[in-house]
Structure 1
Amino acid sequence: MGSGGSRLFGTLAQSLTSAPSAQPEPYREESPDRDVSEVDPDQLLRECEEALRRRPARPHRDLVFPNATVPYKHNPSIRVMQWNILAQALGEGRDGFVRCPLEALNWHERKYLILEEILTYRPDILCLQEVDHYYDTFQPVMAGLGYQGSFLAKPWSPCLDVEQNNGPDGCALFYRRSRFTLQSTAHLRLSAMMLPTNQVAIVQTLGCQLTGRRLCVAVTHLKARSGWERLRSAQGADLLQSLQTITSRGGGQGAAATAATPLIVCGDFNAEPSEDVYRRFSSSPLGLSSVYKLLSSDGETEPAYTTWKIRPTGESCSTLDYIWYTRSALAVDSLLNIPTEEQIGPDRLPSYHYPSDHLSLLCDVSFREEPHRLM
């Protein structure tokens, strides 16, 4: 599995050369990504495939169309991808994936696997966690592909404890500039019991240029590890409170939930469905439902796993990642299925054929017709 010589980023050399060398302040509002040379995504995908020719193919995944879905022909779908991509510093330096060779984790090739996944599905909205190569890789590459990005680092990123790190990791949110206009951005540092924590969220309100409708999108990454369930619950409560305020703005006094901006929340919650933070989101006044429950026969059960790894402490197979949506205002037209155990392989994730210990989640959603538009 030697590293192959690659031309990747050959079409983006100018963008990467002009990428910022210094990272902005963590809570500073970012300027629009303008004056970037456009890149042909098909050409870039071919370059990724060429760079990865010595590696086994990524698991094949199919789109699933929920039986209850009604087509909304007048409202085109919006493709949303959620993914904890695994911070490079943590993958090589701290996470201890004992069955994954270090060669499989080198950034020179692993970044190609990440980009190949994104380019294969080409989301309109991309929500990422554990991003520690935002300014030198993802921001210039995604800008060249027509996306506007926003990044928020953790205040005390564990990546900084790793020698030869690339700066702190954090959350990133990208949207396609040809599809959306930005109406507002909130960079949040999540609190628990009124005390600031090390976890963050980005919330953006977007205007859909095809439908004239508004959509609020949030990305977050809650506290990891067992024993921190109460902290995760408090962080979730703090985020929900902020989302309630943001989505109801402009609705007037006592704005009804039906008048609020539809919401999508993506994240690595580090919480199984049995945890209190999951129950908080399921029962929130915002009317949220989890997209990936639609893969189950009863429509009420999450997948068996979204992350599967082997560390020195043992094997961990868990459901921690979610896409939440406002079920009264949005319809899920399709979603990407979960690879089987056989596809993942006996050494689990990450691996030569998959770049992260978390699986990407992806769905196509569309706006439901508003009642006043049906009259």
Structure 2
Amino acid sequence: METMVCPMGGGATRLYSNLSSSHPLPLPSSSLDPHQPTDKNLDPDFCQEQKGSSLCPPDPDELLRQFEEALKDRPSRFHRKFTYSSNVDSASSSPIRVMQWNILAQALGEGLDGFVQCPLEALSWSRRKYLILGEILTYRPHILCLQEVDHYYDTFQPVLAGLGYSSNFFPKPWSPCLDVEGNNGPDGCALFFDQSRFELVDSVNMRLSAMRIPTNQVAVVMMLRCRSTGRCLFVAVTHLKARSGWEWLRSTQGSDLLRQLQNLVQKHTGGPVDAPSSDIPLLICGDFNAIPTEEVYRRFITSPLRLDSAYKKLSKDGLTEPEYTTWKIRPTGECCATLDYIWYSQDTLRVDAVLDMPTEEQIGPNRLPSFSYPSDHLSLVCDFSFKEKE
């Protein structure tokens, strides 16, 4: 199987370090969260014991080799290409690669989501974890925004920490994963960044409200400083309420997120969000569970934060979203829709490249997830650059 590796993300080329150094100090047994990281519950497939410490494979290429070996009997993964902006000077640019992805919580995939055309074997964690991490390592983003993460502590945090990523995770208050027998804890949103490219300035976990009433949806927001340019940006990851009939709730949740982000921008700039001095860009990634005609989409397009959707760059007119970011078959029928977005500050960030969507033929008649792809949502990957200050 041919594997394309894109040379992005400097921190992803480092050797793995001792994972125990990134673990928090142990808590008393009475208060220990069973899903918090310990040497005993790290995924053994990615770690080996050496002198009493858990060590992981030496580099991302070794991990990719392991993934290929573990999944050598499966169909080839999707081959996707980047569409580049016509005004990008690739020789002089040093873009920031961003990945947005609802990875499908393991408990939901096996227990509640009902993917009627997907074989149970393809939904097993022993297969899916290699596909998920393989997708991340293929594109090696500097900023990684994930939803439906329910294996944060035993897999994603330790493995990606060894690759040079720092992260924050915020679980849903009432995760549906907890209703599934044998679950691995609540699912939530996770935000990772490459420490060789960025340093953390601030981090905030937000519980989204509707009409001042807290809801079950959350967001993680970080303010990062780029080490090469010294410029800062805000990054947010969120996952809005699912299902039809809840459009009003998604709209109010989106409005609450925008309001809280405006407050953060004002806090760090000391002025109104639309003032000329407010030059700290925003990136907002998420599964909005909303098609482009929904009210929450309009709220983002018309926000004073002056946001635009990066994936419109794939269209010929630059105004149209992709036909789909998710394609699945459930007992209720087939769903093919655009629900996932990467929003960006159009005055201060430039979209240099966008990863295209696989074709219907690539996805196949049984749709997603599958032996080739581990989630019902497709990853979104974009390269951004800071615009020059005037």
Distance 2:374 2:276 in 1: 40
One of 174, 185, 191 as aligned partner of 2:203: 185
SS of the counterpart of 2:98? Answer: strand
Tell me whether 1:259 sits opposite 2:291 in the alignment: no
SS of the counterpart of 1:186? Answer: strand
1:181–1:209 contact (8 Å) kept in structure 2? yes
Segments of 5+ residues of structure 1 without an aligned counterpart are 1-10, 25-34
Shift of 1:255: 5.5
SS of the counterpart of 1:284? Answer: coil
Percent sequence identity over aligned pairs: 64
Q: 1:222 is matched by which residue type in structure 2?
A: L
Identify the range of structure 1 (155-164 vs 35-44) with the bigger mean alpha-carbon deviation.
35-44
Shift of 1:247: 1.9
Segments of 5+ residues of structure 2 without an aligned counterpart are 1-14, 25-32, 37-53
One of 90, 97, 114 as aligned partner of 1:96: 114
Aligned partner of 1:15 in structure 2 is: 19
CA 1:88 to 1:134, structure 2 compared with 1: closer, same or farther past 3 Å?
Answer: same
Tell me whether 1:330 sits opposite 2:334 in the alignment: no
One of 152, 173, 186 as aligned partner of 2:170: 152
Matching of residues 194-233 of structure 1 within 5 Å: 194-233=212-251
Shift of 1:259: 2.5
Instruction: Compute the RMSD of aligned alpha carbons.
Output: 2.1
Aligned partner of 2:42 in structure 1 is: none
CA 1:73 to 1:246, structure 2 compared with 1: closer, same or farther past 3 Å?
Answer: farther
CA 1:127 to 1:255, structure 2 compared with 1: closer, same or farther past 3 Å?
Answer: closer
Tell me whether 1:350 sits opposite 2:362 in the alignment: no
1:247–1:262 contact (8 Å) kept in structure 2? no
Shift of 1:43: 1.0
Aligned partner of 1:111 in structure 2 is: 129
TM-score w.r.t. the length of structure 1 is 0.89
Q: 1:123 is matched by which residue type in structure 2?
A: P
Shift of 1:193: 0.6
Aligned partner of 2:301 in structure 1 is: 282
SS of the counterpart of 2:269? Answer: coil
Q: Count the aligned residue pairs.
A: 350
SS of the counterpart of 2:375? Answer: coil
Tell me whether 1:249 sits opposite 2:267 in the alignment: yes
One of 362, 367, 373 as aligned partner of 2:386: 367
TM-score w.r.t. the length of structure 2 is 0.86
CA 1:95 to 1:17, structure 2 compared with 1: closer, same or farther past 3 Å?
Answer: farther
Distance 1:288 1:216 in 2: 13
Shift of 1:168: 0.2
Query: Cα deviations across residues 197-242 of structure 1 (Å, max 9, x unaligned)?
Result: 0000000000000111001000000000000000000000000001
SS of the counterpart of 1:357? Answer: coil
